Structure 1
């Protein structure tokens, strides 16, 4: 399975959170903040069902395939510290998420598309892989093409939400610098990570 291309509004409603930030998906959750399907009395969610929803939040929020998520989980387990916190920090450090959190784009899918079309450079090298994990000192810029600079300058001037404190962004130069590794408190997704760890450890 590749990236998710289905109805984003339904997915937001199913998970009860704005994992997709496009205008239509946000409106769908605001208009009907209940899961899709027949409006009948629903049974209490099981522990398994609750953990599954929390795991799916991470998958769709960061645009991961199941295999990618489990790869990050295996890597997080080998790191020192809390496995769940390490998992989310690894996801936060993905290049597509950093571009979104810096303010280059309005959504993560938009950031992934820009990277896939080779609109961005990291430390002066053009990149095309959204899953690159950034490190402190990395410099992210838009390629020196007038049409790209025009597009991203307009977005950067309009968007002020969810900008990360661990990334310094210069809208005028379309330049972002990763100043430090994010902490668990910097993670932008509210999720019960303990339930996710228990689910992935099965």
Structure 2
């Protein structure tokens, strides 16, 4: 199955968290703070159901497929320390997430589309893979094309930049520098990482 392209508001309502940041999806959860569908009395969720919901938060928030998430999980298990925290830090280091966190775009899907369409450069090299892992010292810039500069300058003016201390974004030059690796405290998603680890370890 490919990437999810259905109604984003339904996902936010199902998970009870704004994993999608578009205005319509956020308003959908604000208007109806209950899951979609026929609202009969619901059974108490099982441990499997709770773990699945937490996993889905990560999957939709970062725009991952199950295979990609499992690959990150296997990498996280090989890293010393808390596996759940390492998993989320790996997801935070994705290029599309950094482009969003810096303030180039309003949402992660928008950032991913821009990267795939070769709008961005990493250390002076044009890239088209949203899953590239950034490192401290990496510089993210736009290609030197007037139409792209004008487009993203207009977008950046209306973007609320998530608070973070590991990315420096210069709005005047439309460039971002990764100053250090993110920590677990920099993760903006509210998720129970331990439940995700237990679910993916099954």
**CA deviation digits over 1:6-48, x for unaligned, max 9?**
1111111111111111111111111101101111111111111
How far apart in 1 are the matches of 2:68 and 2:3? 11
* Deviation of 1:5 (Å): 0.4
Residue equivalent to 2:54: 54
Q: Give TM-score scaled by structure 1 length.
A: 0.98
How far apart in 1 are the matches of 2:161 and 2:134? 21
Residue equivalent to 1:141: 141
Query: Is 1:127–2:121 an aligned residue pair?
Result: no
Q: Give TM-score scaled by structure 2 length.
A: 0.98
Structure 1 unaligned blocks of 5 or more: none
In 1, are the aligned partners of 2:137 and 2:180 still within 8 Å (CA)? yes
Of 145-154 and 125-134, deviating more is: 145-154
**CA deviation digits over 1:110-146, x for unaligned, max 9?**
0000000000000000000000000000000011111
TM alignment of 1:10-49, pairs within 5 A: 10-49=10-49
Residues matched between the structures, number: 202
Structure 2 unaligned blocks of 5 or more: none
* Deviation of 1:189 (Å): 0.5
Residue equivalent to 1:199: 199
**CA deviation digits over 1:41-84, x for unaligned, max 9?**
11111111011000000000000000000000000000111100
* Deviation of 1:2 (Å): 2.1
Query: Is 1:70–2:70 an aligned residue pair?
Result: yes
How far apart in 1 are the matches of 2:162 and 2:53? 23
In 2, are the aligned partners of 1:103 and 1:163 still within 8 Å (CA)? no
Of 59-68 and 43-52, deviating more is: 43-52
Moved over 6 A (4+): none
TM alignment of 1:78-97, pairs within 5 A: 78-97=78-97
SS at match of 1:168: strand
SS at match of 1:88: helix
Q: What's the Cα RMSD here?
A: 0.8
In 1, are the aligned partners of 2:102 and 2:167 still within 8 Å (CA)? yes
In 1, are the aligned partners of 2:106 and 2:160 still within 8 Å (CA)? no
How far apart in 2 are the matches of 1:160 and 1:24? 16
Residue equivalent to 1:150: 150
